[in-house]
Amino acid sequence: MAGFITGLILGIATGILLVYLFFRLFFFRIFFLEDKSPFSFIDTCDALRVEAEKNNWKVPMVHDLQETMLKWGKKISQFRIYEFCKPEFAYEILSNDAEKLAASLMPCRIAVFERKDGKTYVSLMNPKMISLFAGGIISRTMKNAACEMEAIISKALGK
Q: What is the DSSP letter of 39?
A: S
What is the arithmetic mean of pLDDT over 65-93?
Answer: 96
DSSP letter at 12?
A: H
Q: What is the residue extent of each domain of the chain?
A: 31-156
Residue 24 or residue 82, greater confidence: 82
Give the helix/strand (H/E) hosting 111. Answer: strand 108-114
- Residue pLDDT, tens place only, 9-64: 778 888 888 877 777 776 667 788 899 999 999 999 999 999 999 999 999 999 99
Backbone angles phi, psi at 149, to 5 degrees: -65, -40
* CATH of 31-156 given 3.30.310.70, 3.90.800.10, 3.40.720.10, 3.100.10.20: 3.30.310.70
- Per the CB < 8 A criterion, the answer to whether 142 and 130 are in contact is yes
User: How confident is the model at residue 28, as a pLDDT?
Assistant: 66
Q: Return d(Cα 8, Cα 152) in angstroms, integer.
A: 49
Distance from C-alpha of 41 to C-alpha of 63, rounded to nearest angstrom? 14
Going through 24-66 in order, the beta strands assigned E by DSSP cover 32-37, 58-64
CA dihedral 49, 73, 120, 127 (to 10 degrees): -60
Which tens digit of pLDDT belongs to each residue from 93-123? 899 898 888 888 888 899 999 999 999 999 9
- pLDDT at position 27: 67
Residue 5 pLDDT greater than 80, yes or no: no
- Angle at which helices 136-156 and 87-94 pack, to 10 degrees? 160
